Structure 1
Amino acid sequence: MAEGRYVPATVVDHIIPHRGDETLMWSESNWQALCKPCHDKKTWTEDKNPVYSY
């Protein structure tokens, strides 16, 4: 509903990108339901602006 409208969720999104971390990948507390267009927009933004931790 971030854009002011309700649509069915069709994708399970990782709130924090897992980037191969199996703990984040399978943690249900890191999942959220999104529609495909919102998921794609979020993922594109995260992939374009990755956050690295060392």
Structure 2
Amino acid sequence: MCGAPSRLVDHKTPHRGDKRLFWSRSNWQALCTPCHSSRKQREERRC
């Protein structure tokens, strides 16, 4: 999201316990910790 070095793998579509979606590499994206902990989590709360 911001271009900083990635430290985490995030799920583009929240898996909500679906193991197939959880392990689907096409659903993964690399994010830095601040983006994952703030922006992405805020987006998921809206859904």
Q: TM-score range by the shorter chain?
A: 0.7 to 0.9
Displacement over 4 Å in runs of 4+: none
Supply the RMSD in Å over aligned alpha carbons. Answer: 1.3
**5+ long unaligned stretches in structure 1:** none
**5+ long unaligned stretches in structure 2:** none
- How many pairs align? 46
Q: Report which of the two structures shows the higher radius of gyration computed on alpha carbons.
A: 1
TM-score, length-scaled by structure 2: 0.81
- Higher fraction of helix: 2
TM-score, length-scaled by structure 1: 0.72
- Show CA shifts across 1:7-46 (max 9, x none): 1100000000000001110000000000011111202330
